[in-house]
Amino acid sequence: MRPWHLGNTTVRSPFRLRDGLVALSTSPLQGSLRGEAQERAFRRLLGEHGIVELGDDDTYSVGRKWRSALNKLGFLYPEVPPASDVLQGEIGPIDMIAPNGWRLIRADTVPAMQECFLRALAAHYIPSALERRFDFAVFSPLRHTLAIMLELENQTGESRLNFVEMALVVQLTSSDETLADIVARVLDLRVRRLASPNKRKFDQQEREAAAVVHEYAASTFSDYADTNLRYLKATGLVQSKGRGLSLVPEKRVFVEKLIQDAEIPDSDRSYFITLCNGAMLPTDNKDSALVVLDDLLLQLERRGIPFDATGKSTDTAADIALIRHQIEQLLFERNEEEYAIRQAGDWEEIAAYMELIITRNGKKTLSNGEEIEVPQAEAPAYFEWVLWRAFLAINNLANKPYQARRFKIDQDFLPVGTAPGNGPDLIFEFHDFVIVVEVTLTDNSRQEAAEGEPVRRHVAELVSLYGEQSGKPVYGLFIANRIDSNTAETFRIGVWFTRTDDKMQLDIVPVTLRQFKALFEALFKAGRVEVGLIRELLDLCGDFRPAHEAPAWKTQIEQIFQSKISQLGR
């Protein structure tokens, strides 16, 4: 059997598809993406928006593959195959943004984005009018995988599905087989892998054996599994569990309702229309929505989270959705607070992520054997995220973890894009002071032009805000892999004039990520995780500001950090 996959193996980070749609929505290229010139232009558009790297691409395949990914999920109207008896006009103009695509563009929260991916993947069936290469009955890969996870939970007590199990079993099955038989194969693979003294070697041998049986390259099974896991997580129904997946507890009842819908499209026309509009979900039905809502209310009660539903209308599915979204937000905030508490115990992992950003290496294996990764296209988002985690680990925040970050996160607490440009990346409020953190991967002479004005403006705005509200002093902490001297000089002078020409003196200290990482590790190794030590460092660095120009000031900052790290190591 041929392996199947959700989404697209070229665009492995699903949320980047939204960025591509946003760029396309304001471009004359919309509806005109076919042919070499147009595919090159689409690639250039994606590159200009920082969505893809503009390296060598003689085959101009990036534009073609992005168009294919958006067509496959119904975010753009796909081309109706000539063999179909459906007219293109019945579906929509080729490569124009479809209704579910516009819904994704307008989604401004992670749950709203996840609902768009869920509607897209719930509408995706194989074989379909777009993919007739399979030789089994029509089925929904999304519902099929979720049903397997529920059956695993019934048999083992947990819904966990490991990476290798997706690679070598699940994506090689269809609804032609019984859930019991599929789960038996999953558990057989799991038992044999657990008994193997060398898991890496076992996985490779199993992939090579599958390659012979199914006549595919051994690497294909892992590539498809990686893509499948990423797109499944984009629905918000599952979360990471080691290198695999498990159901999100808050969504279990929803999942049960979703897989009960076993109907398949009755025609190519209905398939295309549903794909482009997004599938109906259980919560679009009032009765099912009430069942899901009752379960969420029970979860709030079990976790001791107060919520008053008195007077809230449940007359329609839309009314229920408003209440459901409020509850889901409360549950997520509680999950995030619990995640924040765990960060102090994960400080070595946090430092390892910093190392990946410093070295620009993609992956690293931790001492416990776990592999971590910073996807190249998402490095700016991971830079903000790892600094957020670092200050959560220091664990003295006066504001909530979700108030400290301005970027969005998913159910695994991983970043979904970078912070918007109308404010600072991170705001950490402590008992008697505030640190505003700004980060950048730009390390050349453009750094000052890109960061000098916005960083000073953001810090100045926070100085005014906290000055009026609490009188707390505000420090700016600018972190990059390399600090350009022109940037350092701008922050050394540290002046900002208000609209009324009042002069503000800003306290912004530029440090390298390597310097911050060394300090972060020293604090934990010495058992002196005190945010006051960081404030002390910032004050010391600021004291040398008047006496030095930028190059000498940077040297002095390095010496101050090294001295503090040495003191902690004694």
CB-neighbour burial class of residue 108 (10 A; exposed 0-12, middle 13-18, buried 19+): exposed
Q: What is the CATH number of the domain that holds 463?
A: 3.40.91.50
On whether the CB atoms of residues 307 and 330 are closer than 8 A, the answer is yes
> Which string of DSSP letters, residue by residue, matches 102-160?
HHHHH--SHHHHHHHHHHHHHT--BS-SS-----S--B-HHHHHHHHHHHHHHHHSS--
> Pick from 164, 129, 159, 122: which is nearest to 144 by CA?
122
The answer to whether residues 376 and 518 belong to one domain is yes
> Pick from 218, 179, 237, 205: which is nearest to 3 by CA?
218
The answer to whether residues 218 and 314 belong to one domain is no
Res 59: pLDDT: 66
The answer to whether residues 195 and 212 belong to one domain is yes
> Pick from 405, 469, 385, 474: which is nearest to 436 by CA?
474
Q: Tens digit of pLDDT per residue, the chain (570 long)? A: 789 999 888 888 899 999 999 999 999 999 999 999 999 999 999 999 888 877 766 667 889 999 999 999 999 999 999 888 899 999 999 999 999 999 999 998 999 999 999 999 999 999 887 776 666 789 999 999 999 999 999 999 999 999 999 999 999 999 999 999 999 999 999 999 999 999 999 999 999 999 999 999 999 999 999 999 999 999 999 999 988 999 999 999 999 999 998 889 999 999 999 999 999 999 999 999 999 999 999 999 999 999 999 999 999 999 999 999 999 999 999 999 999 999 999 999 999 999 999 999 878 999 888 889 998 889 999 999 999 999 999 988 999 999 999 999 999 999 999 999 889 999 999 999 999 999 999 998 899 999 999 999 999 999 999 988 899 999 999 999 999 999 999 999 999 999 999 999 999 999 999 999 999 999 999 999 999 999 999 999 999 999 999 999 999 999 999 999 999 988
SS3 425: coil
Res 368: pLDDT: 85
Res 57: pLDDT: 66
Q: What is the CATH number of the domain that holds 229?
A: 1.10.10.2090
71 to 76, 79, 96, 152: CA distances (angstroms): 5, 8, 10, 33
Among 231, 263, 295, the domain-final residue is 263
275 to 14, 70, 358, 506, 538: CA distances (angstroms): 17, 11, 42, 53, 54
Q: Is residue 170 within a helix (H) or strand (E), and if so which, with residue range?
A: none
On whether the CB atoms of residues 435 and 468 are closer than 8 A, the answer is no
The answer to whether residues 313 and 202 belong to one domain is no
The answer to whether residues 170 and 30 belong to one domain is no
> Pick from 549, 122, 550, 528: which is nearest to 564 by CA?
528
The answer to whether residues 148 and 11 belong to one domain is no
Question: What range defines the domain where residue 553 resides?
Answer: 340-569
Count of domains observed in the chain: 4
* Residue/partner pairs of 30-34 with CB below 8 Å, 24 or more apart: 30/95, 30/96, 30/97, 31/93, 31/94, 31/95, 31/96, 32/95, 33/63, 33/67, 33/76, 33/95, 34/67, 34/94, 34/95
* Residue/partner pairs of 96-99 with CB below 8 Å, 24 or more apart: 96/30, 96/31, 97/21, 97/24, 97/25, 97/30, 98/74, 98/276, 98/277, 99/276, 99/277, 99/278
The answer to whether residues 534 and 423 belong to one domain is yes
Res 132: pLDDT: 62
On whether the CB atoms of residues 207 and 221 are closer than 8 A, the answer is yes
Distance CA 190, CA 195 (A): 9
The answer to whether residues 463 and 550 belong to one domain is yes
Res 562: pLDDT: 97
The answer to whether residues 28 and 115 belong to one domain is yes
Res 52: pLDDT: 86
Residue type, 34: R
CB-neighbour burial class of residue 301 (10 A; exposed 0-12, middle 13-18, buried 19+): exposed
Res 570: pLDDT: 82
SS3 295: helix
Q: Are strands 238-241 and 244-247 parallel, antiparallel or unpaired?
A: antiparallel
Interior CA angle at 370 toward 365 and 373, to 5°? 60
Provide the residue count of the chain.
570
pTM: 0.91
Q: Is residue 181 within a helix (H) or strand (E), and if so which, with residue range?
A: helix 179-195
On whether the CB atoms of residues 486 and 550 are closer than 8 A, the answer is yes
The answer to whether residues 375 and 297 belong to one domain is no
What tokens appear for 499 in the block? 């609209």
Instruction: Map tokens 């899901």 to a residue.
Output: 292
The answer to whether residues 121 and 240 belong to one domain is no
The answer to whether residues 275 and 328 belong to one domain is no
Distance CA 90, CA 242 (A): 45
Among 312, 339, 366, the domain-final residue is 339
